[in-house]
Amino acid sequence: MDWLRDWIMAVTCAAMALALLEGLVPDGAGKKACHLAGGLALLLVAVGPVAKLDVGKLTGALADYRGELDSYEQALAEESEERYKTIIAERTAAYIVDKAAELGVSCQAEVTIGYDDNGTLCPWAVTARGDWTAAQREALSRALEEELGVPAARQYFGESSP
């Protein structure tokens, strides 16, 4: 950033000096020549740092920046996926609690999220605790399998804790 500040200062000083010089030169051919020479000098001041630019350093800095950007992007994707898993788990658990309430059971549900064969996040396993009858447990198990795609082998039912 120091080089940018120095460059801006150089261009500003050159422009001010050029304006002062043009103000002092009388009208006529001398003023036109002064204007041309001043414009060329200002151009050299503005473009000079580009000629001194170290392309190797710039390429290295850009590569470092790209590496940092990639790592931030990956961290953001991982964080986003974790939040998405949490949302799916919470909403699925709420759905299970509502479904159990329809069957006349008050329960608590915990959902584990996994990936299906296509690599899509989905409810993988369900643990539910409540005061069930065999018929209520069977009805909820069927609903979990049919509506959420969680097979009976990954459904765990327990009794409510006192």
DSSP labels, 12-38: HHHHHHHHHHHHHSPSSHHHHHHHHHH
CATH of 82-158, one of 3.40.50, 3.30.300, 3.30.1690, 2.60.40: 3.30.300
Q: Note the pLDDT tens digit of each residue in 19-33.
A: 888 888 888 888 888
Cα 101 from chain centre: 39
Percentage of the chain exceeding pLDDT 90: 52
SS3 68: helix
149: left (phi over 0), alpha (psi -120 to 50) or beta: left
Assigned token pair, 52: 């001194």
Domain ranges of the chain: 2-53, 82-158
- What does pTM read for this prediction? 0.60
Residue 87's closest CA among 119, 120, 123, 118? 123
Amino acid at 26: P
Provide CB contacts within 8 A for 111, sequence distance 6+: 88, 89, 92, 93, 96, 123, 124, 125, 126, 127
Bridging pattern class, strands 121-130 and 155-158: parallel
SS3 137: helix
Q: Note the pLDDT tens digit of each residue in 35-77.
A: 888 888 888 888 877 777 667 777 888 888 899 999 999 999 9
* pLDDT value of position 1: 63
Q: Note the pLDDT tens digit of each residue in 104-148.
A: 999 999 999 999 899 899 999 999 999 989 999 999 999 999 999
Query: What is the rounded (10 degree) CA torsion for 96, 97, 100, 105?
Result: 150
